[in-house]
Structure 1
């Protein structure tokens, strides 16, 4: 019976008269990883790691093929080492539509040659833009290329108490096969162990619903063949060296196709009208489609007529537990008091896009404070940064902001805002 890779590694190291620490220094592979390989507590390393070890051991050319073959023999063919159901990827959406360019961008990042640091892709955008749906769809499409498996963690970034980095690391380490007694108590040690495991495994990790940069910094991978996809309503501008993808509303054709895939080929003219009234936002289109399917006696024209009343449009975009206003509200509650007030008042801007000077006219605060509030709104994807220092709302978010203005400010306050923009 042939020796395993771990046995060969130990034999060659002893023959070379090297300690694990000395081999680690020569090869650039950590002593912990070498120990795990020799004791066969980890899967076989990637080819470049094996080659680095062979060079550090000064293996004769005649012995290198057997060394590489043993590594290949020990490498898993497919799927995750995770216990069943642990960090499992959600099911894909059967009627997923569009986002071809975005999927192609994710595929290009996944196919990049090995670099000093494993790639990370952030997907940001407003509530309802389809960030999680895109990440899950991409993970299912790309998963076959990741022999170490695909892992998914919802970090619950919009909750009052998001998942902490230490807890997320514990879940991931468990899914990667570490027993509870092998998971370090210290967060920094957990992060180091996680990076070490990803250094030798080809794993696709989806970190969904990120709260902010501090939550995911300990989860960033080091070198290795993994890919991490993060979704967040925030731009996560503080993360360095990541690929960025910002989701906008769907193009008109894709938006109409999505709605028709939900409801069938019906009333194309009214479908286009509903698409525009929903602002081509995937969640709003999903709600509109589900609403029609659950009310077979309704025509698409009937729903379009109901949505045409701006005062009631958000109230119409409810289907069971799906509520477009509730999705926006989660972002709104994350804002500072100053940013909330400006958000409400900007809903009365008399033009489609506006600059900081108009924002200053709506609020008596210091101009620097206004700039900070505008940045906060853009960071949380409640306001879109347009060209040349101008800003604009998504039409449904503007309606949500007007509702907050009506609910939270006095009639006198609203009249003052109207006067300021008159």
Structure 2
């Protein structure tokens, strides 16, 4: 039997981020030291104690008495496996959830894309939780997929008892495709980079369904099977932030802070973290920081949660023409003219199309453009 410990521990950071927790916050909830959590996430601790895994699983809200779904799921297919707990401050998203409910009924694969920190993983987890009853053979979650190959993904999702999972890459991929053809399961693949990772895993006659989140659109899927996850509308952003800070900030400050975050869920989580962990700082001080384009990204950092880092990771994978388009956003505020690369950014939610073939960038995208160009 193969050792699944490392491939399951690879999920820890994704589970933690999906729950909106920094390493320090997870440490407080679980009683596990920040150093240990960081060591597990960086693969420096390769065989953590079972009690450590149970404590982390319980703190993350994973189901099961043992709460150690960070380890191998064994031979199980039925049941919810490895799915993070739903975000307690999940707000709105009725249109997004309705689209997913409709598409997951009839399609074999769909993708969620959007701005870095737009809440793609949280939305996928919420939808998978809500719709689990439709999938009698279970729900599986794997992520972040990162640079994993199609064969590696197939092996992680196949039951360890399946001899095909130990065979050559084509055998493992073929066995996984057969699993999707035979079982009505929902597989959530988080943070997929490109078509090569998932294309070979998606038979057109699959009974199972694959829900993919990623930073870039997959060309192997029809445009109608792709959903752009937008920032939260102003009212939902205010409600989400107020829930995150448990009503401890004045309503006018919550409104201003939500606006400064541009409705981006990651930015809202970071802002709430700063308000709750630094009570000596006034909400107005943070409002002022978010209102300054040259300082806003510096303010949106809490522990290892960073809006700037999230943008930089995605920016590095953009096509060259799209990176050039980002650098053009250092022009004065207002819509920018259509140029090569802006269509790529629009597909990813970095800009929205307006009248006269012009594009309006998200305010945090414009702030990031200053960083990308060094201005």
Same fold (TM over 0.5): yes
CA contact (8 A) 1:80 1:149 kept: no
Inter-CA distance 220–83: structure 2 relative to 1 (3 Å threshold): closer
For 2:356 and 2:232, the matched residues in 1 are separated by 23
Displacement of 1:130 in angstroms is 0.3
**1:151 is paired with a residue of what secondary structure?**
strand
- The residue matched to 2:226 in structure 1 has which SS? strand
Matched residue, 2:174: 192
The verdict on how the C-alpha distance between 1:142 and 1:86 changes in structure 2, with shifts beyond 3 A counting, is closer
Partner of 1:413: none
| Contact kept in structure 1, 2:230 and 2:349, CA below 8 Å | no
In structure 1, distance between residues paired with 2:104 and 2:328: 43
Whether 1:397 aligns to 2:365 is yes
Deviations 1:375-404 (A, max 9, x none): 443455433344553222110111111122
Counterpart of 2:257 in 1: which secondary structure? helix
Cα distance change, pair 287–314 in 1 and its aligned pair in 2 (3 A): same
Unaligned 5+ segments in structure 1 are 1-78, 113-117, 360-370, 408-422
2:92 aligned with 1:124 = no
Asked if residue 232 in structure 1 is aligned to residue 214 in structure 2, the reply is yes
2:234 alignment partner in structure 1: 252
Q: Bigger CA drift: 222-231 or 310-319?
A: 222-231
Residues 283 and 155 (structure 1), Cα distance of their counterparts in 2 relative to 1, 3 Å cut: closer
Matched, 1:105 2:99: yes
Q: 1:297 pairs with 249, 267, 280, which one? A: 280
Q: Is the 8 A contact 1:234 1:381 kept in 2?
A: no
Choose from 88, 102, 106 the match for 1:94: 88
C-alpha distance 341-143 of structure 1, shift in aligned 2 (>3 A): same
1:213-292 map, 5 Å:
213-240=195-222, 243-265=225-247, 266-292=249-275
Aligned to 2:86, the other structure's residue is in SS state coil
Cα pair 1:124 1:232 within 8 Å, conserved: yes
Q: In 1, Cα distance between the equivalents of 2:223 and 2:281? A: 50
Matches within 5 A, 1:64-213: 82=76, 88-112=82-106, 118-157=107-146, 162-174=147-159, 178-179=161-162, 181-183=163-165, 185-213=167-195
SS in 2 for 1:209: strand
**Whole-angstrom distance in 2 between the partners of 1:92 and 1:338:** 37
Alignment CA distance shift 1:276-1:334 (3 Å): same
5+ unaligned residues in a row in structure 2: which ranges?
1-72
**Equivalent of 1:382 in 332, 343, 350:** 350
In structure 1, how many angstroms separate the alpha carbons of the residues matched to 2:168 and 2:222? 24
Secondary structure class of the residue paired with 2:210: strand
CA distance, structure 2, for counterparts of residue 289 and residue 227 of structure 1: 35
| Deviation at residue 183 of structure 1 after TM alignment | 2.4
Distance of 1:212 and 1:384 partners within structure 2: 23
Secondary structure of 1:246's counterpart equals strand
Aligned to 2:63: none
Q: Is the 8 A contact 1:120 1:242 kept in 2?
A: no
Deviation at 1:111, TM superposition (A): 3.8
For residues 323 and 273 of structure 2, the distance between their equivalents in structure 1, rounded to whole angstroms, comes to 31
Q: Residues 121 and 396 from structure 1, CA distance in 2 versus in 1: closer, same or farther, beyond 3 angstroms? A: same
Task: Tell me if structure 2 keeps the 8 A contact 1:233–1:381.
Answer: no
| Count of residues in Structure 1 that have an aligned counterpart in Structure 2 | 302
Cα RMSD over matched residues? 2.7
Alignment correspondent of 1:318: 301
The CA deviation at 1:242 is: 5.7
> 2-side partners of 1:289 and 1:140: how far apart?
25
Q: Distance in 1 between matches of 2:103 and 2:345?
A: 29
C-alpha distance in structure 1 between counterparts of 2:355 and 2:151, whole Å: 40
Q: CA deviation at 1:84?
A: 11
Q: Structure 1 81/352 Cα, relative in aligned 2: closer, same or farther at 3 Å?
A: farther
1:187–1:374 distance in 2 versus 1, CA, 3 Å: farther
| Counterpart contact for 1:81–1:148, Cα < 8 Å | no
What is the match of residue 363 of structure 1? none
